[in-house]
Each structure stands twice: as C-alpha cells, then as structure tokens.
Amino acid sequence: MRYVPVLIGLLVAAAPVHADPRSTYVTMVLQAFAAKVECPGTDLVYQDLVQKAQEMHLPDGTTEKVRKAIAFMHTGGKMGEKQDDELMSEVAIATQSTDLDQRRLGMTTWCHDQKGRLAGFIRTKE
C-alpha cells in the first residue's frame, strides 16, 4: 500500500504532456518561415496560417503577432516588433527546437520532412 503514491506519481509523470495550442502554433509558423528561407524553391501561404489559427481558436491577430515576434528575434530587433514575454519565450523555444532538428537531420532531410508536415502552409514556388 505504501507504493501506491509512488506508482500514481510515476503514472502522472509518464502521461503525455500536451502543449499549449499557441506554443504549438508558434512552432508551426516558425518552421513554415524557416522552410521559406532555408529550403530552395519553397514559399509560404500566409493566409493558410491565419486560417489554421482560427481553426485552433486562437485570438484574431495571432499570426501577425507571431510573425512580428519571429522577425524581431531573428533580426536582432531590426524588423518586426517585440511582443509580450510569453510569446517571445515561445518563439525562442521554437527556434531552439527547430535549430536542433535542422542540425540533427541535416537541412536536406529537414526540408523534405517539412514539405510533408507543413503541406498546407508551404508550397513549391511557381
């Protein structure tokens, strides 16, 4: 009986962690912009990102705030606008995880993977 609390603790710790919808969205937007920049012949479909935010029930203007935060962070403040600390933190975490994936997989494989994962948000340039 004394092991029950330990077992419950282990089960709770092993339960999958569900990311906040906005942080999931931030990562998706960052990866779509990264694919546009890093993957030859790839373009971004901004309106589809806006639609996805609406489907995820995120507040109006979320896509633009995320875009501005990404631009601000990735240009050292020369473009975009600094957003609230929580969003800037989400962009930093998404940047780190994307950077790790790119290094781990290599850019060619990463770009190929993104074309499948972000099919509605990136496309081949015409």
Joined together, the tokens standing for residue 62 give 């979320």
Task: Kindly calculate the radius of gyration of the chain based on its CA atoms and give it in whole angstroms.
Answer: 17
pLDDT confidence of 12, banded at 50, 70, 90? very low
Each residue of 36-89: pLDDT tens digit? 999 999 888 899 999 999 999 999 999 999 999 999 999 999 999 999 999 999
Q: Given this model, what pLDDT does residue 117 score?
A: 87
The overall average pLDDT reported for the chain is: 85
Q: Which helix (H) or strand (E) holds 63?
A: helix 62-74
Question: Does residue 28 surpass a pLDDT of 50?
Answer: yes
- Residue pair 29/63 in contact by the 8 Å Cβ criterion: yes
Q: Given this model, what pLDDT does residue 16 score?
A: 44
112 to each of 105, 107, 115, 123, how far by Cα in Å?
Answer: 10, 8, 5, 12
